[in-house]
Each structure stands twice: as C-alpha cells, then as structure tokens.
Amino acid sequence: MVRHGIARTLTVLSALTASIALSPMAMADGKFDGVTLRIATWGGSNKAAIEQSIVPKFEALGGKIEFVTGSPQANFAKLIAARGRAPFDVMEILDAQLPDFAQTDYLAKIDLSKVPNTKYLESWSYNEMGMASWLTQETICYNTEKYAELGLPAPTTYRDLVTPELKGRISIPDITSGGGLANFAAISIAAGGDLKNVKPGIDLIQDMNVLKFWSRGGETVTQFQTGDIYAAVVHAGWCVRAKNAGSPVQTVHPVIKDDIVGVQKYGRLGIMKSSKNYDAALWYVNEFVGIDNQFTLATQTGVFPTNKEVVAKLGSDPVLKQMLELDPAKLGKQLRIDYSQVNISDWVDQWTRAIVTN
Amino acid sequence: MTVRWDLLLIPSFLFTFILLSVSQTLFLEGSFYKDLGLGRTGDTLDLVNYVRVFTDGFYLTTLWITVKVSALATICTLVFSFPVAYVIARMRSSWGMILLSGIVVSTFITIVIKVFGIIIIFSADGWLNQFLMSTGITTEPYSIIGTQEGVVIGLMYFTLGFGVLTLYSVVQTIPTSLEEAAEIHGASRPRMFRRVILPLAMPGLVAGGLMVFNMCMGAFTSAALLGGGKVFTLPVLIQRTIMMEVKYSMAGTLAAVLLVAVILINVLSIILIRRMHFARGVLA
C-alpha cells in the first residue's frame, strides 16, 4: 500500500518535472548563458520598473543585466569620451539627441525582423537606428489647494504662471535637463516665437519669476512637498509621483498655439555599434516595447507608452487617467519638436546668458 | 650595505604624479584647440577659446562670481569656525575630544545630504521660515535657492568642519601661558584676543583661509544645488559645458582659467601677507 503510494508520488513528480522541462521558457533556458547586458538608463523608479518586468525574464534565459545609470546627456558624454567604445550595450536616447547621434557612427542598425513587438508601435516611432521606448507628456503641474487658497483659476498655458501670487513659486526645467529643450521650445512657441526665434520664450520665462530651474524632475516632487513651489513645468510622470508622495497636484496640458494643446518628448533605445551582445540587445529592445514592460513603466513612472495596446489599458488607472491625455485625437495634436530644425547650441547659449542671474 | 629606503617612494610618487597630471594635461592641451563640439577639436593650436573667455562678459562675470562667493564663504567659515576651534582647544574636560570627534564625523557626511538639509531648513514650510513669519520678522518665506547668498551658505557649510579642524590645531600651538600673562597684566578679553591670540594665529588663519578658499573655488555640488540654475560658478559652468554640451576644449579652457586664478590669488595673498608682516616689523 505504502509502496503504491510512493510509486504514484514519484510518477506525478516525474510528470511535473517533464512538463516544466518542456515548457517554452525552459526550452529557451540558456539562450543568453554568461551574457551580461549593460543598459544605460536612468535610475530610480525607471530602473525599478525594468528590474521588475524585464530583468527576471533575461535572467531566466541565463543572462544578467547591469545598469549604467545616468541621464542620456551624461551617458552620451561617456560615449563621446570613450570615442564610441561604449561601456554599455543599449542606451536610452532623447529625441533632442538624435541630431547629435546622426553626426556620429555609434549606433548599430536594428534588425527589425527580430523585434516582433514593432507591430504594437506607430510607424513614426521606430526605424533601424532606434526604437521609441516611451513618450512623456510635458505639462504644467500645479498644487490645486494652494491655487484655491490664492483664488487662482487653474492655469491653461505658460503665461498664466506670470502672476504676482506665484512669485518665486514656480519651477521650470533647466535647458540642459531632460525636458529642458522640449519645454523651452513649447514656451517659445506659446509666447509667439518659433524654433528659429526663441526670444519671446526667454522673455516669458524671465517674467515668470522662477524659484528654481530644475535639473532632475525629482526635485519638483520634493519642492511640492516642502511647499516651496505651487506650479512646475514638468512631465506628467513627475506630477504622478508628486501626487503619490501626498501633494495635491494636478496636470494641465498647456495650450501652445491654435489647436495645439500639450507637448510630447520621446525617448529611443539604441544599440551600440561596439556592443558584443547584439542578439541580447535586440531581445531587450523587443521586450522593452512589449506590453508587459510598457504597462509596468507607465503605471510606475507616469511616462506614456509607445505600445498602442498599452495606451488602451491606461484608462483603468485612476491617477494616470486624471494626469495623462489619453484621447487619441488630442494626442495627435500635441506638439512634438523636430530637432533637426533646431540649433541647440545657440538655444543653450541664449538661455544661459539670459536666465543666469550672475 | 646601505638600504636605499628612498627608492620605495618612487612607485607612490609616480602613481600620484600620473594620476594628477595626465588627466589634467589632456584637458589643458585640449584647451588650446578650437572646440568643434561633440568632443571634437580642431587640428591646429589656437587660442580662440581663451580669447572668447577673456573677451566675453559672461565668462568674466562667472569668474568674478566664483571668486566673490568663495571669498565670502571663506570669511564666514573663518568667523564661525574660529570661536568653535578656540573653545574646543581650550577645553580641559573630555568634552573637547567628544566635540572634536563630532566635527570629524560630520565631515564624513556627503555634501548632497548636507545641502538638502539646508534646503529643507529654508523651505517655505520649514521650521525656520515658520518661525520667522510667526514672529513677524518676515512676511513671506525666505528662500536661499537660486541666490548668491544661498551658494555662500552652502559653501560655508561644506567647509565649516574643515575650518574648525584646521584652526583647532592652530589654536593649540598658542601657549595658554601667554593668555594668562596678558590677563595678569590687566588685558581685557577683547584686547587679549586682538593683541595676543589673533597675531599668533594669523599665519594659521591665512593658511587655513587659503585652503578653505581653494576648496570653495572648486566646489560643485553646493553651488549647483543651491544655485538653482540661476547662479553659475565656474565649476558649475565647467560641468555644464562638458557633460551637457560635450565641449571638451571649452571646458578645458574654463578649467585652466580656474586653476590659474586660484594659483594667482594664493600667490598674491601670500605676497600681501608677507608685506604686511614686514611693514609691521619695520614699524615695531
């Protein structure tokens, strides 16, 4: 009787072991044995989301992911210093950096046939040189309680930040920060300028009486908490994080010009030409734009997904629904900057001379 | 057989020399080539970057601001750290060592944490502003972010512990017997400080002051975090030029200007102090 029981248990265990061994994941086990993939990206919640959605899958395939954390600008500086021999395989690139990358020969061509998740992406958002990994909706994030106390209506555009009640209570991105160029362009256009004439934007910023030009979006989360600022020009993700941290904040997608309401910037994933882990890098890029990671990234950091399937799912998140623009018709009308038309060096020079109070 | 112990110094000397000189030399050399952006430089030796720095009011103003905030921070550091150092040095109980250890430990804390502490203290809802407003001293919150005063406070905070430690060793070299003699002969405490302690501490104060000043001139974090993108010192501008604009030659030029400015100020200060000493000696 006992022997029968043991035999039955062994049979069940054998069957279980066999089924696990033959499962698709285990079949693929070992595909990236011994591969260490280095990803240049931000730290914080961005890295945490990737660690949650991608890293375990890669480790199940035998590989290991290491992060080279830093802003895309800092990572680009590392790339230049290393003369293209990058200390990483995959890099997050800002849309504003694409003209710089076009002048270099640092990126490998992406074999699009090995990135099946491109079927979820808009055609504009990828090509052989990069894969749009996220979008941000650049907004005015404001403290609803302070606005009510001051009797101020919710802002609709940047000029609404020019009011005595908000003197020294505004934070906007420094031009060298991640969102700096996109927001500077938007402010300039909203003020009556254009990509060739940013003087109206500089004048408007000078009228704003800004407390701080932030270099990391996280600074605004702290400043909302400490009561230093009542409004910030910042992407919706930071407003989400400020709300999650307990600040009573809300986003406004600023009116830019005519029917253009709201601003977008986007990031791309590029594979380094110097990478010795091309296949693993391709796998990572594919996973990054997949449904799982895009949803995790959006819900945890407040960035907007490039994956169309995920966009449809975001309406179920009450905070994101409140903070992000999800209407496809309106999304199509948001401002996206064509940096090939921009003399970035000239913008930075004009900004530095005008904004710095030295 | 004579053992040449001095040969053992060669590896450490070479290591230090290479570490300190090679990276700096690369940047200094690069500063003499035209900056073409994206880390690229021209092929021929050129002074165009230096000409730009010395003819452009923006760079000269930035240099002036750097010197000004560093000098103010140095004065504040010396003023605040000397009494602390004096009291600790003259303590006879074990409290002196405990306080000194506390200051040493405080220097281990990263400057980022220290600066964020200041930002929180001076925040609009922070206790300091609440106190100032509730007592009617101010009508609205005072913020140090984005102001030169804020940068001075940040630099002072950065160097205060170092200042106390340096001046502690200076005060310890002044024999207490001299103070006692002055006291016996009827000197008041202020007079004793002016005529006995200060002259004897002066060389140490100058040396400590120059060290603090040099630290302030090269300090980045305090200036960047408290400057709020509105106040630029040269280290902030160098970081921006190299990390954000990837202009290596221009950054090298700014670094060279900073280095030369620091050396010149140090040399001129020493010459000035020596002349003052000499003049005082002649007059005496």
What is the pLDDT, as a whole number, of residue B279? 74
Q: What is the token pair recorded at A165?
A: 């009640």
Record: contact A104-B232, CB cut-off 8 A: no
CA distance B145 to B224: 10
CB atoms within 10 A of CB A261: 18
Least confident of A335-339, B76-80, B139-143, B154-158: B139-143
Q: Does the beta carbon of B184 lie under 8 angstroms from any beta carbon of chain A?
A: no
| Residue ranges covered by each domain of chain B | 44-283
Do A152 and A170 touch, CB atoms closer than 8 A?
no
pLDDT at B157: 93
Contacts 24+ apart (CB under 8 A), B5-8: none
A199-208 vs A344-355: helix axis angle to the nearest 10? 30
Kindly identify which residue of chain A lies nearest to residue B120, measuring between CA atoms: A226
CA distance A184 to chain B (A): 14
Predicted pLDDT at A6: 54
Average pLDDT over residues B45-66: 95
CB A272 within 8 Å of CB A282? no
If one compares A13 and B224, the residue with the highest pLDDT of the two is: B224
Question: Mean pLDDT across the stretch B44-67?
Answer: 95
**Residue whose C-alpha is closest to residue A265's, from A129, A173, A196:** A173
Which residues of A fall within a CB distance of 8 Å from B231?
A: 356-358
- B 195-224 → A contacts, CB under 8 A: 224
- To the nearest whole Å, the CA of B106 is away from the closest chain A CA by 24
B178-188 average pLDDT score:
91
Distance CA B231, CA B152 (A): 11
Residue B68 has pLDDT above 70, yes or no: yes
Q: What are phi and psi of A197, to 5 degrees?
A: -135, 95
Looking at beta carbons, which residues of chain A come within 8 Å of B248? Answer: 80
Size of interface A-B (CB pairs under 8 A): 83
How far is B3 from chain A, CA to nearest CA, in Å? 44
Q: Given pLDDT bands bounded at 50, 70 and 90, which one contains residue B140?
A: confident
Is the pLDDT score of B76 beyond 50? yes
Q: Convert the pLDDT of each residue in B249-283 to its tens digit.
A: 999 999 999 999 999 999 999 898 888 777 766 55
Is A210's CB within 8 Å of B146's CB?
yes
List the single residue in B with minimal CA-CA distance to A176: B244
Q: How does residue B211 score in pLDDT terms, banded at 50, 70 and 90? A: very high
Whether residue B166 has pLDDT greater than 70? yes
Fill in the DSSP letter of residue A153: P
- Nearest chain A residue (CA) to B226: A212
Q: Distance between CA atoms of A100 and A103, rounded to whole angstroms? A: 5
For chain B, percent of residues with pLDDT exceeding 90 = 65
Report CB contact under 8 Å: A215, B224: yes
Reported ipTM: the value is: 0.80
**CA–CA gap between residue B54 and residue B264 (Å, rounded):** 16
| Nearest partner of A39 among A307, A305, A284, A303, judged by Cα | A284
What is the structure's pLDDT at A27?
46
- Contact criterion met (CB < 8 Å) for B245 and A100: no
What per-residue confidence (pLDDT) applies to B40?
Answer: 84
Residue B233: its pLDDT value, please?
A: 96
Yes or no, beta carbons of A228 and B123 under 8 Å apart: yes
Q: Do A357 and B230 touch (CB under 8 A)?
A: yes
Residue from the list B39, B126, B229 with its beta carbon closest to the beta carbon of A80: B39
pLDDT of residue B244: 78
- Closest approach of B107 to chain A, Cα-based (Å): 25
Mean pLDDT lowest among A40-54, B122-136, B216-230: B122-136
* pLDDT given for residue A24 in this prediction: 43
B44-283 maps to which CATH number?
A: 1.10.3720.10
CA B181 to chain centroid, in Å, comes to 36
In the prediction, which pLDDT does A2 show?
46
- The pLDDT confidence band at residue B26, using thresholds 50, 70 and 90, is confident
Which residues on chain A place their C-beta less than 8 Å from a C-beta of chain B?
73-74, 76-77, 80-81, 83, 100, 103-104, 168, 174, 176, 210-215, 222-223, 226-228, 345, 348, 352-353, 355-358
Which chain A residues contact residue B221 at CB under 8 A?
A: none
Q: Please identify every stretch of chain A with a pLDDT value under 50, giving residue numbers as ranges.
A: 1-2, 16, 18-27
CA distance B103 to A307: 54
List domains and CATH numbers for chain A.
Answer: 25-135+266-315 (3.40.190.10), 136-264+335-355 (3.40.190.10)
Closest partner residue to B65 among A211, A213, A358, by Cβ? A358
Q: Do B123 and A227 touch (CB under 8 A)?
A: yes
Instruction: Between A26 and B111, name the one with better pLDDT.
Output: B111
Chain B residues closer than 8 Å to A81 by CB: 39
B229 closest CB neighbour out of A80, A213, A228: A213
Cβ contact, residue pair B245, A348, below 8 Å: yes
**B266 lies within 8 A of chain A by CB:** no
Question: What is the distance between the alpha carbons of residues A160 and A169, in angstroms, rounded to a whole number?
Answer: 13
Q: Which residues, listed in sequence order, are joined to residue A164 by a DSSP beta bridge? A: none
In the prediction, which pLDDT does A356 show? 80
